[in-house]
Amino acid sequence: MSRLKITLVRSTIGRVNAQRDTVKALKLNKIGSSAILEDTPQVRGMINKIKHLIKVEAVNE
């Protein structure tokens, strides 16, 4: 499977709790923090939910 590098680029201050929980579920905590995750339908759904807060890149292995 391919992998995705997800980076938090905007703050979660003022966001609804569902979006904050999604950011935590993606293992992101501070602005600039990154996580490398498998490209699964579940992760893609979480990305779509908070796409305005993050930057997504494909990781070449």
Mean pLDDT of residues grouped by 10 in the chain (61 residues)? 94 96 96 96 97 95 70
The one-letter amino acid at 55: K
DSSP structure class, residue 30: S
Burial class (CB in 10 A: 0-12, 13-18, 19+), 33: middle
User: Of 26, 2, 1, which Cα lies nearest the Cα of 51?
Assistant: 26
The one-letter amino acid at 33: S
Set out the domains of the chain in order of their start, with CATH numbers.
Answer: 3-59 (3.30.1390.20)
Q: DSSP secondary structure string, 14-51?
A: T--HHHHHHHHHTT--STT-EEEEE--HHHHHHHHHTT
